[in-house]
Structure 1
Amino acid sequence: MSASAGNTSNNGAVRNGDPPLRAIGLCKTFKVATRTLTALDDVTLSLTPGVVTGLIGPDGAGKTTFMRLAAGLLAPDAGSIEVLGLDATRDGLAVQSRIGYMPQRFGLYEDLSVQENLDLYADLQGVSPGERPARYARLMEMTGLAPFGRRLAGRLSGGMKQKLGLACTLVNPPRLLLLDEPTVGVDPVSRRDLWAIVYQLVAQQSMSVLLSTAYLDEAQRCAQVILLHQGRVVDQGPPAHFSDPLAGRTLRVTGAAATRRRLQSALARRPGVLDAVLQGESVRVVMQEGAALDCAALGEPVRCESVPPRFEDGFVALLHGDREAIRPPQVRVTPTFTGDAIVVTDLTRRFGGFVAVQRVSFAVRPGEVFGLLGANGAGKTTTFRMLCGLLAPSSGEVRVAGLDLRRAAARARGRIGYMAQRFSLYANLSAHQNLAFFARAYGLAGARAGERIAWALDAFELGDLAGVESGTLPLGYKQRLAMAAALLHEPDILFLDEPTSGVDPLARREFWSRINALAEGGVTVLVTTHFMEEAEYCDRLAIMAAGEVLAIGTPAEIKAAAARPGEAPPEMEEAFIALIQAREG
């Protein structure tokens, strides 16, 4: 959906300098079964013209509902929303003809080529044949899709699909662009490219952009940020407005590398600590106002130093009070095998003439958290599926939990837990029914099944939701349920395929607290992720490109390998991009 440029006013006109979007007292509720869910509650806000405004908040905050109201796709229960001088409720079709809107699952036609998708959206948006060549050329240059005009959309990588979706949205350049989490599931290289496109549009066309995102580093790049929580506006302002009040309250605590998980867990329980997350070899800590950290009381030698606050610290500090402290699951696994948990030797996978994975080799130690990273199309998902026994290799060897996947695949799968990216839950079954189904799938029955289901509901704090259909659960609770299901049979090894994609930062913290507890209990974890801060939580990483392993090592070693001579090691995302670009020449 896109828009024509130009000033419009109340029967169509808006003056330059006026807010491109203004909401007053906006309310919206939804009926889900017998429950009434409040998505937006008395939301009043306006956008600054000609800048990128970030819309952030936890799962269920109301971000997507607000976007859909602004696009004229929903009607509010109360209040009003004005877009480019038009009432979005009364004049929805007119609004849709003037804005660009890219929802989370943009409607590409996967059986059409890149060029055919552009032509289709140009037809829908009324772009004349004479205007198309210049616009197409510009969009193809911006997105880097020029060499792929004849490729079917279904054969593009995830990042390229997002770029094509954005190009289709921009075939008719709008005054206001609404982007609903456009970078979810996109690798850091493609994410950076998408941001470059957005800022190019703002700079060259004075376009106003409202962008919702689960990445807080992206919010920090915005000129303005609107924080939603439980359907209400918590605060609004430039990113520094959120981070500056925490000056003097953010610390880096460093101890022995081998004990960093235990250090993080101990710090999270200290009085006055709002937040404690792993960051490389250290733990980043945010303190409550007026509180001080007694490092000597931690019981081991550590170094504490003050660091500047960042936007993410402000986000967590504002919302932390509404989250209850979690109880990480208590797990103690005695491996059923000797040696490494996963051994990969010369692993190769071909699809016809295309080599997706080429002679990949690495090993994962028992109780290790091992990250598998790569740009979209790098071969990591194919590798991951082969390690899980879901896809047969063309050649090479995979041993999981001491078993050869070619010869003992069924026995090996009995020793692993698998959590898919979309969680693989049955939406019309309750949480309890899902657990019962997976218990049977893992061969659990009778009293043993009942015991493990009771453990899962308690350990993941799902007891109050046991009878709720999983399809109606917030994303963070679906994630809990999926992990609980994967652990029912007490596996030695847990495979996690982008488990936090689209999940809000607070839910991601809860998730990784559980992962840390599992690793401390002896569970081996292999995880794929596009969140580079999550890569810091891993003991070791393998970075893939074009089906090959580019680098393998600890996060510190990966960053050191990407550092320029005489310079400090970069952040993980910069290191990832540098390694990929070096591979591409």
Structure 2
Amino acid sequence: MSPTLDSHGAGEVKRAPPIIVARDLVKRFEGPDGAPFEALKGVSFEVAAGRLTALVGPDGAGKTTLMRMITGLLRADGGALHVLGHDAAQDAQEIQSRISYMPQRFGLYEDLSIQENLDLYADLHGVPANLRRERFARLLEMTDLARFTARPAGNLSGGMKQKLGLACTLVRVPDLLLLDEPSVGVDPLSRRDLWEIIEQMIAEEGLSVLVSTAYMDEAARCERVHVFNKGEQLAEGTPGELRAQVAGLTYVAAPREGEPARDLQARLIDAPDRIVDAVPSGGEVHFIRRPECAADSLGDLLAGCEARAREEELEDAFMLLLRAHEEEVKPTAPEQGGPDQGGEAALSSAGLEREQDSAPIIVVRDLVRRFGDFTAVASTSFDVRPGEIFGLLGPNGAGKTTTFRMLCGLLPASSGHLEVAGVNLRQARATARRRIGYVAQKFSLYANLSVRENLEFFGGAYGLRGRTLRARLRAIEARFDLDPQAQSGNLPHGYKQRLAMAAGLLHEPRILFLDEPTSGIDPLARRAFWRTITQLSQEGVTIIVTTHFMEEAEYCDRIAIQDAGRLLALGTPRAVREEAGPRGQDMNSAFIAIVENARAHERTRAAAPESVA
């Protein structure tokens, strides 16, 4: 929102009042044990009008609770909250008439078409008929959905559903737009499109937008960022102001010849007394030195690897703030860089050693899957070696989940050869499934059962009994730092993912399939999750993983990129970045470049006969 001129003074700037003012805000819920739990602990902050403002923080930070309080869906248990000049406790209806809110699971009506969903939300918001035509046309053009208005929402890809949800949220022009993790679970192309729409609406209509996000590159687009953890605000400021807190502490190191970047990353992140954070990036490792640790004291961790200073990023500041707060809240808590980081005790009974022969453990040749006239996977071929981490990437609707389900033996191929763990899946799917572990994107935990009861159930399903089952339960619970008595439905999302992976590893499979295992979880939980994956790979377990976090592809030995059922790229992360050419500075930009180049080539090829005619 532009500043206005004060009528009492020529040219004097008068600032608009903040649209959100929170003072000592408290919100309590009943915890799993019946005791009160404070989701917000005396939070105070302001949000200026006409700005793009971000809320960031890990699972359980209080972001969604705060969003729901701003909308008037939850009432504070202490403190004061004013939104658009109204008391949120007293004037919730007035606030709701002036805001638009897109929650994490936006309520599209899947049996209705795109146009019917837009009409319905326009009716709910009382948008006059004479304004709808122009508004709908603009939203459909911005979201690139104009060609699909008759398509049922249930038949849309994940990215298209998110864009339709945003369009439905914007059928009227609100005074305040609230977006709760709008891009979770969508691919980089769709994520980029969503943010282009948001930024265009801000530029053209002066929208005030408050967004919560797990992506630090998204938060870096915002004018102001508020960092939360465990119900407390840790810091606020511009991205530049927050980055300044980690100045002089950020480095990049190149691994030794032949050493995977993830092994160097594991060595660094396993030294929390000296290292705040470490993550593979572009074939190297970005890491943060602890402020109290001397720069020349890292020699044994680097073990001859070359390290140099690098420019700090917003995620560096975020991780520094989180680590410091976690240590302040739980000074004696074990580091969660990965359960049982030593690695030899918890699963010693597994006897998992990296296989010496180089024969592929997965062989895919000319794999095809059709659904009626639609070809979801078209003549795909690749191999996976024992102990390899293999990433299967692609936009929403690219065919990677179909490929994934065929590899797991959950879906038969229409044609082609598919061999997993030495078994031809067209002939013996049940035999192959006994040799693999599978963690679905929406893992079916039984919320009313304890951790131990869930593991006992899945252990029985895998044929484990008696003493063998009891030994495996003790080992797997220790490895993943799980409380056997905790009720599964009350676990934080990151711990649910741990439990899901524990269940998939109970029967000591040779291959572990992970379908978007870190979707919706924060950077802290993702670091812990991938530390465990690295260790499993070192022990000889073969990992097949799908993900929409392109930086996670850097943990993989090789990756395959699919789109429209076709294999576009296959190789090491470095080879794929090089294949993308000048646009492939990092894996996210390389992914976008490869997919866009392939789509442009396909459009040119499809138009060629018309040109000739």
Match of 2:593 among 575, 578, 585: 578
Query: What percentage of residue pairs aligned between the two structures are identical?
Result: 53
State the TM-score, normalizing by the size of structure 2: 0.90
Contact (CA 8 Å) 1:274, 1:287: kept in 2 or not?
yes
Q: 1:298 to 1:123 in 2, by over 3 A?
A: closer
Match of 1:368 among 375, 385, 388: 388
Match of 1:371, SS?
strand
Match of 1:340 among 360, 363, 383: 360
Match of 1:309 in 2: 312
Match of 1:325 in 2: 335
Match of 1:537 among 552, 555, 567: 555
Q: Which amino acid aligns with 1:333?
A: L
Match of 2:538 among 510, 517, 520: 520
Q: Which amino acid aligns with 1:472?
A: N
Match of 1:118, SS?
helix
Q: 1:298 to 1:230 in 2, by over 3 A?
A: closer
Do residues 551 (structure 1) and 552 (structure 2) align? no
Q: 1:70 to 1:483 in 2, by over 3 A?
A: same
Partner Cα distance (1:262, 1:542) in 2: 21
Contact (CA 8 Å) 1:559, 1:575: kept in 2 or not?
yes
Match of 1:352 in 2: 372
Do residues 204 (structure 1) and 204 (structure 2) align? yes
Contact (CA 8 Å) 1:295, 1:304: kept in 2 or not?
no
Equivalence map 1:44-59=2 (5 Å): 44-59=44-59
Match of 1:297 among 276, 300, 313: 300
Q: By how many angstroms is 1:296 displaced? A: 4.0
Compare 56-65 and 299-308 and name the one that shifted more.
299-308
Match of 1:497 in 2: 515
Equivalence map 1:48-197=2 (5 Å): 48-197=48-197
Q: By how many angstroms is 1:294 displaced? A: 4.0
Contact (CA 8 Å) 1:280, 1:537: kept in 2 or not?
no
Match of 1:11 in 2: none
Q: By how many angstroms is 1:246 displaced? A: 1.7
Give the aligned CA root-mean-square deviation in angstroms. 1.7
Q: Which amino acid aligns with 2:278?
A: A
Contact (CA 8 Å) 2:354, 2:538: kept in 1 or not?
no
Match of 1:455 in 2: 475
Partner Cα distance (1:410, 1:518) in 2: 24
Partner Cα distance (1:238, 1:299) in 2: 33
Match of 1:344, SS?
strand
Match of 2:428 in 1: 408
Compare 274-283 and 404-413 and name the one that shifted more.
274-283
Partner Cα distance (1:338, 1:249) in 2: 41
Partner Cα distance (2:89, 2:299) in 1: 60
Do residues 389 (structure 1) and 409 (structure 2) align? yes
Partner Cα distance (2:255, 2:557) in 1: 15
Q: Which amino acid aligns with 2:27?
A: K
Partner Cα distance (1:257, 1:394) in 2: 42
Contact (CA 8 Å) 2:354, 2:539: kept in 1 or not?
no
Partner Cα distance (1:269, 1:418) in 2: 27
Contact (CA 8 Å) 2:250, 2:286: kept in 1 or not?
yes
Partner Cα distance (2:163, 2:114) in 1: 11
Contact (CA 8 Å) 1:257, 1:281: kept in 2 or not?
no
Match of 2:609 in 1: none
Q: Which amino acid aligns with 1:534?
A: E
Partner Cα distance (2:190, 2:589) in 1: 13
Contact (CA 8 Å) 1:253, 1:282: kept in 2 or not?
yes
Match of 1:536, SS?
helix
Partner Cα distance (1:297, 1:483) in 2: 32
Q: 1:299 to 1:97 in 2, by over 3 A?
A: closer
Q: Which amino acid aligns with 2:26?
A: C
Gaps of 5+ in 2: 5-13, 328-333, 601-613
Q: Which amino acid aligns with 1:304?
A: A
Contact (CA 8 Å) 2:451, 2:487: kept in 1 or not?
yes
Partner Cα distance (1:216, 1:345) in 2: 39
Partner Cα distance (2:197, 2:120) in 1: 22
Q: Can you list the C-alpha shifts for 1:302-356, whole angstroms capped at 9, x where unaligned? A: 1111111101111111111316313235455247997212111111111111111
Match of 2:280 in 1: 278
Match of 2:440 among 420, 431, 436: 420
Q: Which amino acid aligns with 2:277?
A: D
Partner Cα distance (2:522, 2:257) in 1: 28
Partner Cα distance (2:163, 2:19) in 1: 24
